[in-house]
Structure 1
Amino acid sequence: MPKISPQEWFKSPLGQYLLALEYDYINPVVMDTFGFYAIQMGNFDIDFLDQSRIQNKFSLNSNHPDLMTSNEALPFDEASVDLLIAPHILEQMIEPYELLKEIHRVLMPEGRLIITGFNPVSLWGIKRLLSFDIDYPWNTKFISLSKIKEWLPIVGLEMIEGKMGCYVPPIQQESWLRKIHAMEKLGDRWWPMLGGFYSLVIQKRVHGMNAIQPLWKKKLIKTPVYSAQRSRTFRLKP
């Protein structure tokens, strides 16, 4: 049996370091997203929605949840959610593709999904392959970015922005994490695809409406119009 749960690991020095970076990447997108309902999924203590301008915000299956439910069946109406944040959820799922389909169902047209995941093509991915550690996160699926990109158009979602981060090796010593923090800037410049995690901003596709033909036309021709709009808790110590 695993000794460390996801909740415990995200409270560790390395987990806190990772969440601080992810918060900095996600927060500008959250602040720039508008609507009526925002949902955060996850099982750790951080509020990615604390700077959101959306009034109705709910946490799902967190340490202090507003709602508890199965990730496979979200308790929301179809096309009702404007923003959904799912950090490190897909890699914990038996069927991550099915969760993407369920998220597509509940998202509003043009609604946004933000996901984060561990990158298998990184120092973190190497450790997972070479170790026999049964603790989180090394016992989860590291889903490649190419696989995510393959799934998205099938379920009707489109990636509009993506970033990687956490280029440091996965060590738990807080003092060393501070010393090698400069690797983040170096990684962004020299090896941007080798970050320990990826953060993706995804949008629900909208196929538009059928064009309305003039009344004198005897035969209506359905012409689809396609549109695609492109649209702290933890901080690193100096």
Structure 2
Amino acid sequence: MDSAASEKSIIALDGWLQTPAGLYVRQWEQQCLDSLTVDIFGFNAVQLGLPQFDALAASRMPNKWQIDARLPGSQPQGSALKLVSAFDELPFDTHSLDLVVMPHVLEFAAEPHQVLREVERVLIPEGQLIICGFNPASLWGARQGLARLTGRHYLPRAGELISMPRMKDWLKLLNMGVSRSHFGCYAPACKTDKWLRRHAYMDRAGARWWPYLGAVYIVQAIKRVKGMRLIGPAWTKKPATAPAGAPVTNKRREQEHG
């Protein structure tokens, strides 16, 4: 997918996120991202794409940025500083970021592998990456696949929906170990809020009975560096105490022999 098609897909995603299905996805992702980012500590965090919501809202890091590849028409309110940059050429030094969050970036990127390589470059050793994506192995993914025949797309026209196993393979090639994964949004591909609410029970049932078939997934990975490991604090050992005196039996022998 070329850059022009990528930008058109991202624009289509902006509009789709305002639909009932888009709001349904955003609500689940916001709750999940809040629970993940609140326990990740560091100094510098970046959100790539999707400025419609603040993926770093719960993060307690002092320095936070939101980066979009397009010039924003209006700056949304939020605590993060807004920047404009290409995702495959980030304006950060190597090994400078503790956390990067990418909500639905790779599906619309012209070169998703290059974006991942650039993110791996700017992350510090043991830095963390969180990725949100649409799951092709779901009811929504199946309907999107049928759209190639019918022409009626439910999701925005993306270059390619990336499955969870494929995403893990990409991360493994970059020495990024997946630590946690989550699936959500199990309701069928309905377009109205009324029908999405009617199928709300499927969120509870799906998480229990078919957990890997959610319409959306979130992957959390950690950057591993070969030959390097974190060392804990060096605890000072108590010096061994010398014996207070000779045993009683030795003292008696000394008295007996003068």
Correspondence for 1:7 among 14, 17, 26? 14
Q: Verify: 1:146 aligned to 2:162, yes or no.
A: no
Correspondence for 1:129 among 145, 148, 163? 145
Alpha-carbon offset, residue 61 of structure 1: 0.5
**Unaligned stretches of 5+ residues in structure 2:** 76-80, 231-258
Asked which structure has the greater RCO (Cα within 8 Å, sep 6+), the reply is 1
Alpha-carbon offset, residue 135 of structure 1: 7.5
Give the ranges of 4+ consecutive aligned residues of structure 1 lying more than 2 Å apart after TM superposition: 1-4, 62-65, 133-140, 206-209
CA distance in 2, matches of 1:21, 1:167: 11
Change (3 A) 1:134 1:75: farther
What TM-score comes out, normalization by structure 1 length?
Answer: 0.83
The residue that corresponds to 1:118 in the other structure is 134
CA distance in 1, matches of 2:227, 2:36: 24
Correspondence for 1:33 among 34, 37, 40? 40
Correspondence for 2:58 among 51, 54, 67? 51
Q: Secondary structure at the match of 2:101?
A: strand
**Unaligned stretches of 5+ residues in structure 1:** 210-225, 228-238
The residue that corresponds to 2:95 in the other structure is 79
Q: Verify: 1:202 aligned to 2:221, yes or no.
A: yes
Correspondence for 2:109 among 85, 89, 93? 93
Does the Cα contact within 8 Å between 1:6 and 1:44 map onto a contact in 2? no
Does the Cα contact within 8 Å between 2:154 and 2:189 map onto a contact in 1? no
The residue that corresponds to 1:234 in the other structure is none
Structure with larger Rg: 2
Q: Secondary structure at the match of 2:84?
A: coil
Q: Secondary structure at the match of 2:182?
A: strand
What percentage of residue pairs aligned between the two structures are identical? Answer: 38
Does the Cα contact within 8 Å between 1:7 and 1:44 map onto a contact in 2? no
The residue that corresponds to 1:42 in the other structure is 49
The alignment's C-alpha RMSD in Å is 2.1
Q: Secondary structure at the match of 2:226?
A: coil
Does the Cα contact within 8 Å between 1:122 and 1:194 map onto a contact in 2? yes
Q: Verify: 1:157 aligned to 2:157, yes or no.
A: no
Does the Cα contact within 8 Å between 2:12 and 2:157 map onto a contact in 1? no
The residue that corresponds to 2:233 in the other structure is none
CA distance in 2, matches of 1:40, 1:136: 22
Q: Verify: 1:60 aligned to 2:79, yes or no.
A: no
Q: Secondary structure at the match of 1:202?
A: strand
